[in-house]
Structure 1
Amino acid sequence: MQIITTFGFFVLWLASRWWLALVDKYVPEPYLDEVFHIPQAQKYCAGHFRDWDDKITTPPGLYLLSVAYHRFRLLSECTPFSLRSNNLLATILTAFLAAQCRHLIETRAAGRNGETSSVAMPFGSYYTGLNIALFPLIFFFSALYYTDVMSTLVVLVAYRNHLLRLQARRLGIVNDLWTVVLGVCALFMRQTNVFWVVVYMGGLEAVHVLRSVHSGSQKDSTLHDPPLSQSGPQDWFLCVLTLAVAALSNPFRVVRQIWPHLTILALFAGFVAWNGGVVLGDKSNHIATIHLAQMLYIWPLFAFFSAPLLIPSVLSAATRPIQYLHTLFSLTSKRAAFISVSYTLVTVLLSLVVVRYNTIIHPFTLADNRHYMFYVFRYTILRSHALRLSLVAAYTVCRWLVWDQLAGAAGPAQNPPRPVKEAAAATAAAAPRTSTALLWLLTTALSLTTAPLVEPRYFILPWVFYRLLVPAWRATDAPAPPGIGRAWPRGGLAGRLWLVAGSVDVRLPLETAWFVAINVGTMYVFLFRGFYWRGEHGELLDGGRVQRFMW
């Protein structure tokens, strides 16, 4: 396994290096937002730290890291190629950090369920980290000088530290201060990272300390925080209510745990007051707005990129329709069915209201036909009002599919052989707790609904944390087709192959193939399907420069 994982990281490095070389060959000059980022980084490389381009909205973290990178490598000049190569290194480190975070999540889940977990990182964690680095919205920008890849890396460093804090029996002042430093570093990359290092990680630590206070006592029953796979809308409400009551009953314990995150929040609030707003420059085009429709767009985007992960839900729906109907109308589950149906109707109604009254079309979306989102809006949301409303059905289905995966979608296998059952139980990751999923949803909403512009890059961190939480799935977890519940392979080659399927998430190679296909397609279009902007009389615009399609 070590040889395979080492080879996987080597292939990732080769692919990233090849992509960087192609961009440098065919797009050597700064392109699009690089027109602002590269000159600003070159000013910093020259020591002009007081010079700032007012068109840049994000903090200078990327440029400061670039200066450190160039000085460490003793590079005398900051060229577009050398600056872009920063993200090549960041992509490899992102894969490794994501693998470590995945392993820590699975280790903690195994300990919570009373299972033992090996200290060595399993193959599935490495593979998940590699796929996260191949995520098209990350891999594409690994060859361009944008903030997204480096920002993701820094947030993952902070997240790894957070997961280690959850495992520590005692936290010292050194680790608390280190948490503050990592949080500030994340804010130096992008302002919206405050939601992930404060709300998400701070919220998880608050829940952790409340659970530890109540564990082993009669008060344990007052915390309602079941695994997401065993919770419904009523459980989500009870989870929030009981955690709020527990926090009010133990304020000093909570503050002792999360004071580093509160410090980060205070520093960020001080920055906003000093700066007169969240963004640094171009404030007129980046005004914080309540944009609830973002929480509708996220589900089709996640469903598209996570298509291979949806296999369990599709299999369950295809092989167990009778069981679903029986559960819906059984005497023991009428109340749950009523709550579920009511919840679905309410969400559909709220979605229709949001589409009707809170669909925001930012001028940038309509003004720049170099981005894929321009065409998505043009052929869907802007097509007609009726089509815009009908998309609520797609939002609802995609939301169910994505949430189902987060809950660990696969139903139990019917009469699997004992070795398969043991292999799956030894390696499967438990579904996240209800509180974890709700904090992820809240943080995602805060980071997206404050942005008027629908930009795929804004969905990177929500997807990364979602992907880290999705439980592993095996083919043996799937329900057996009707009539062959006892016909599982037990011996010979078929049995051995089935045992392998019982210990590996078979969706991982499909996810790799899917991401590679998307990446190859978008890379080809970007490099070789350029076009020119022309005026009304056919004259070339933008100085005759080639325009290229990108995310």
Structure 2
Amino acid sequence: MSDIAQETIRYAAFAAFNILVAKEVNTVVNEPYMDEPFHIPQAQAYCRGEWDSWDPKITTPPGLYLLSVILKKIFLFKCTIGTLRLTNILLLSFFPPLISSLQAKLRRIDAPQSWLEPTLESIVISAFPITWFFAFLYYTETGSVFFVLACLLAALHQKHWLAALLGLISCTFRQTNIVWVFYALGLSLLKTLHLRRVGHSKHLHDPVVVDAKIEDFAKSVMSLPRAILPLLPFIIPYALLALVFTVFVVWNGGIVLGDKSNHIPQMHIPQLFYFVGFCTALGFPVLIGGPGGLIHLVKAIVSLIAGTWRRLLLYVTFCVLTGTIIHFFTIHHPFLLSDNRHYTFYVWNRLYRRHSLVPYILSPVYVTCYYAWFIRLYYPPSMTLNDEQPVHSKQIVHRSEKSLLEALLLPICLLPTLLPTPLLEPRYFLIPWLLLRLQIDPPQIRSFESLHWSLLGEGVWNAVINWGTMYVFLYKYRPGVGRFMW
């Protein structure tokens, strides 16, 4: 059987399995659950043509409901609970080809010839636990992620008016997606500038991240205005989108659409630490899956932490700073403390609050996880980490040729999306995780028989978490308590 046929069969199996799971979810959970009692009646009101109806407790714009109405017009179905949930199942089925196209563009390789032939890696990524779980409920996450990724793909193809339109649609699912629209713009501009650089005539100062020094940060930022001047026409669609978004915020009196009392922004710097912990816990097969595996990763971490006294001092400084931030900025949100139907309740109450010292003990864990991801993204296994033997860009393999500004773009975009959010909620980490995952180098796969162990581990880990979460959600219902879920 050809590789193309195998890819199509795997894709069909993925879609068919999701339909079977969706059928079981609709059979067992036949009434709106958790946030669905807000979303489903609102969508049904729009299906009846009641466009002036709006539930003031809904905090997001009506993108999900409008999409369901469009699908109702196309497929002529009634807006029942099951058919409304089908909106997200349809979107999930498009994730693998969308991710395949994105990875091909980012890696500068040929995209699959057909959308029916997505890569196995893209299917594994589409089965990421939070992405996969919420596709079976009538939540905004699936549409939010889909249109952000579609916006990024259009921007990378230099179709900026289309990208801005897709970005606008993504904001109708979740307002904070405006940040990821500008991530798409920033990444596409950097890719364009890198392609246009010739010899030493370039205006942009953007060295390979592993070669960058402290002074390069300022030089890179200062070189940006002059470098992007020829690309200003690309920015016009996004500027119009920013204007529309600003008008909305002014009109609405804030970014949250409704129920503002429970969504008051608060400075929550530890969210950045929770994010790196989340990435490590759910993505550890990816983290240890680089060339050289776990052994290389551990050696590289030790070298980066304690290779010299200066590095050790820097590591200790980061740990102390992290502990200080935890002390002054940790927020014990009342939803997190009271709702035992989510993973975060047990992580917080049985780990984080087990002893007053636990948050501070976790400080070096967060910093070490950050080091691990930095190494996974930017250091090939052959790269020396000794200060006495600096590595130059010509020694760096393809996956490590990421520039300084490209490396800074995602962390910068994390700040406005995570810092103002007082609630620890894994769904907030979904888009940045996927954007991080897209930066990971591809495993070497020539056929299913030579499946790379890291991709196999990622797929198995996703499947185990998905099976466990969905099984408990469906079959371990406790009256008076509810269903356990993300």
TM normalised by structure 2 equals: 0.89
Matched, 1:348 2:319: yes
1:451 aligns with 421
Residue number in structure 2 paired with 1:461: 431
Please, which of 3, 6, 26 is the counterpart of residue 4 of structure 1? 6
Residue 357 of structure 2 is matched in structure 1 by 386
Shift of 1:528: 1.2
| Aligned counterparts of 1:8 and 1:441: Cα–Cα separation in 2 | 34
Task: Give the conservation status (yes or no) of the 8 Å contact 1:239–1:435.
Answer: no
In the TM superposition, 1:139-538 aligns within 5 A as 139-165=132-158, 175-198=159-182, 200-211=183-194, 215-220=197-202, 223-226=205-208, 228=209, 230-231=210-211, 235=213, 237-250=214-227, 252-312=229-289, 315=292, 318=295, 337=308, 340-407=311-378, 409-411=380-382, 429=399, 432-474=402-444, 505-533=452-480
Query: Structure 1 residue 125: deviation in Å?
Result: 6.7
Deviation at 1:515, TM superposition (A): 0.6
Q: Quick check: 2:189–2:228 contact (8 Å CA) kept in 1?
A: no
Quote the offset at 1:221 in angstroms. Answer: 8.5
Q: State the secondary structure of the residue aligned to 2:362.
A: helix
Letter in 2 for 1:383: R
Give ranges in structure 1 of 5+ residues lacking alignment. 108-116, 166-174, 414-426, 476-498, 534-545
Letter in 1 for 2:185: G
* Partner residue, 1:98: 99
Amino acid at match of 2:54: W
Q: Describe the shift of the 1:132–1:456 C-alpha distance in structure 2 as closer, same or farther (beyond 3 A).
A: same
Which residue is 2:67 aligned to? 65
CA distance in structure 2 between the aligned counterparts of 1:187 and 1:56, rounded to whole angstroms = 15
Does residue 24 of structure 2 align to residue 22 of structure 1?
A: yes
Cα distance in 2, alignment partners of residues 320 and 191 from structure 1: 37
Aligned-pair CA distance for 1:224 = 3.1
Q: CA deviation at 1:290?
A: 1.5
Contact 1:472–1:505 (Cα < 8 Å) also in 2: no
Change beyond 3 A, Cα 1:204–1:240: farther
The DSSP-based 3-state class of the residue aligned with 2:88 is helix
Give the drift of 1:176.
3.8
The code of the aligned residue for 1:525 comes to V
CA contact (8 A) 1:102 1:128 kept: no
Partner residue in 1 for 2:52: 50
Partner residue, 1:113: none
Q: Secondary structure at the match of 1:218?
A: coil
Which of 121, 129, 135 is the equivalent residue of 2:128?
135
Mapped contact 1:532–1:547 kept (Cα < 8 A): yes
**Which whole-Å deviations, capped at 9, do the CAs of 1:513-546 have from their partners, x for residues lacking one?**
111111000011111112133xxxxxxxxxxxx6
1:243 and 1:69 mapped to 2: Cα distance?
46
Output the amino acid matched with 2:157: L
Superposed displacement of residue 343, structure 1: 3.6
- Whole-Å Cα distance in 1 between the matches of residues 10 and 346 of structure 2? 35
**Does the Cα contact within 8 Å between 1:61 and 1:185 map onto a contact in 2?**
yes
| Between 204-213 and 184-193, the greater mean CA deviation after superposition | 204-213
Aligned residue identity for 2:175: Q
Q: For residue 504 of structure 1, report the CA deviation from its aligned partner.
A: 5.7
Q: Deviations over 1:200-234 (max 9, x none)?
A: 12222343454456x224344861320x4x34xx5
CA distance in 2 between partners of 1:502 and 1:216 (Å): 42
1:207 partner letter = L
Measured in 2, the distance between the counterparts of 1:320 and 1:456 equals 26
Corresponding letter in the other structure for 1:38: I
Counterpart residue type for residue 291 of structure 1: H
Task: Quote the Cα distance in structure 1 between the aligned partners of 2:297 and 2:40.
Answer: 55
Shift, 1:265, TM fit: 1.8
C-alpha distance in structure 2 between counterparts of 1:25 and 1:252, whole Å: 57
Q: Secondary structure at the match of 1:349?
A: helix
Cα 1:338–1:217 change in 2 (3 A) is: farther
- The 1:34–1:154 alpha-carbon spacing in structure 2 relative to 1, beyond 3 Å, is same
**Whole-angstrom distance in 2 between the partners of 1:269 and 1:320:** 44
Deviations 1:309-331 (CA, angstroms, capped at 9, x unpaired): 132469566369889888999xx
Q: Measure, in 1, the Cα distance between the counterparts of 2:142 and 2:344.
A: 20
Greater Cα offset, 373-382 or 433-442? 433-442
> How far, CA to CA, are the matches of 1:137 and 1:18 in structure 2?
18
Tell me, what secondary structure is at the counterpart of 1:144?
A: coil
**Contact kept in structure 2, 1:34 and 1:144, CA below 8 Å:** yes
Per the alignment, do residues 266 and 502 of structure 1 end up closer, same or farther by CA in structure 2, a change over 3 Å counting?
farther
Cα distance between partner residues in 2 of 1:36 and 1:354: 36
| Larger CA Rg, structure 1 vs 2 | 1
- Distance of 1:395 and 1:51 partners within structure 2: 46
Which residue in 1 is equivalent to 2:394?
Answer: none
**1:72 match: secondary structure:** helix
Asked if the contact 1:205–1:257 (Cα under 8 Å) also holds between the matched residues in 2, the reply is no
* Alpha carbons 1:408, 1:473 under 8 Å: kept: no
Give, in whole Å, the separation in 2 of the partners of 1:119 and 1:532: 49
Residues 271-280 or 429-438, more deviating: 429-438
Is 2:378–2:399's contact at 8 Å kept on the other side of the alignment?
A: no
The question of whether the paired residues in 2 share the 8 Å contact of 1:16 and 1:142 is answered with no
CA distance in 2, matches of 1:327, 1:279: 42
Q: Which amino acid aligns with 1:201?
A: A
For 2:266 and 2:299, locate their aligned partners in 1 and report how far apart those are by CA, in whole Å: 45
Amino acid at match of 1:362: H
Tell me by how many angstroms 1:501 deviates: 10
| Per-residue CA distance 1:210-263 (angstroms, 9 max, x = gap) | 4456x224344861320x4x34xx53x444322322223346324333222222
Separation in 1, partners of 2:5, 2:346: 43
SS in 2 for 1:520: helix
* Structure 2: runs of 5+ lacking an equivalent: 385-396
Q: How many residues align?
A: 472
Q: 1:125 to 1:396 in 2, by over 3 A?
A: farther
CA contact (8 A) 2:61 2:175 kept: yes
2-structure distance, mates of 1:120, 1:205:
21
